Structure 1
Amino acid sequence: MIAARDGSEVAADVARRARAAFAEPTVRFAVVGSGPDGFALTITRDDGVALLSRLCVDPTVTSRGLGAALVADAVEHARRAGLQRIELDVRETNVRAIALYERAGFTAVSDPWEYDGGDRVVTWSLDLEPSTPASGCH
């Protein structure tokens, strides 16, 4: 999934970045069939902001709402953890991902900047309201 998402990059570079990303995150998986068919990887930064570091959906099961479900789950997980904001970086050419994040309420908060490997990305952010317990729960 990661290699498909990251395009034609060298496999060793993709593996190196994946190992680094999986060092200390919260990982949530989506399963459609025998899965996993997608995952969202979220890290809590030192400044108390959640970073949605990776969002991957198997290309064979796209357009089924898995990406939206994973984003919603990451947002809710960060909200329940008491974080005030969740951020992510997305390639400026990834129009499908940008549309997904806009539908989820994220807004662009940076100009395009050069990421590792020369890709130009934009930082997106969503302010989180504290979650409130359901009626009768304390």
Structure 2
Amino acid sequence: MTDQREVAIVRWPGQTPSAEEGLAGLLAAYHLRTEAEKGEAVADADGLPDRYRAEISDPRTAFVDDVVLLALSGDTAVGCLVVTAPAGGRSEIKRLWTDPAFRGQGIASGLLGAALAHAAESGVSGVRLSVWKWRTGAIALYERLGFTTTEPWDERDQLVCMQRAV
């Protein structure tokens, strides 16, 4: 059973020196799992497409205009989410990931709540996201938080596009 320690949601970069390494690990796990689910498994982060390796190796540059939220259990990063800079009156939520050992503790919901609060403070009218259709648990979570399926802006097969007002 996983230790149910208190988890804090913080904006990255922050004061925790180990957070950047933790964020890189979370991003790597997210991308490796996604590629495997798409049937394109690779052995490690070195086998990922360039754009994903860039996020992992230098998140400060990859997300320079965005807000990165981290869930921390002590000094350990256990979840992450990226909110893109506002464009056209809305932001996009990307890279929601919770370390599997910490799932079921409300971390994803906490990250999404913090992302929606940030979006509201930024003055956007809406938030959108895309999710692979086989991630039914994530889709159910998004629906519970008021997201609805919308016309796709990304034509990749099996990708569900969702949005909600802020």
After TM superposition, the score normalised by the length of structure 2 is 0.66
- Give CA-to-partner distance per residue, 1:88-136, whole Å, 9 cap, x none: 0000110010011011111111369643xxx5211110111xxxxxxxx
Task: Please name the residue that 1:86 is paired with.
Answer: 127
Query: Which position in structure 2 is the counterpart of 1:122?
Result: 160
2:67 match = 26
Equivalenced residue count is: 125
Amino acid at match of 2:143: E
Tell me which protein shows more helix as a share of its residues. Answer: 2
Return the offset for 1:17: 5.4
- Which residue of 138, 143, 148 maps to 1:107? 148
User: Are residue 49 (structure 1) and residue 87 (structure 2) matched?
Assistant: no
* Structure 1 residue 2, shift from structure 2 partner: 3.0
> Once the 2 structures are TM-superposed, how far is the Cα of residue 23 of structure 1 from its aligned partner?
3.9
C-alpha displacement at 1:45, in angstroms? Answer: 4.2
Distance in 2, Cα, partners of 1:120 & 1:2: 21
In 2: Cα distance, 1:27 partner to 1:125 partner: 19
Root-mean-square deviation (CA, aligned residues, Å) is: 2.2
More off after superposition, 62-71 vs 11-20: 11-20
SS at match of 1:102: helix
Note if contact 2:30-2:95 (Cα within 8 Å) is conserved in structure 1: no
Gaps of 5+ in 2: 1-25
2:103 alignment counterpart: 62
Q: Percent identity?
A: 29
Runs of 4+ that moved beyond 6 A = none
Give, in whole Å, the separation in 1 of the partners of 2:153 and 2:118: 27
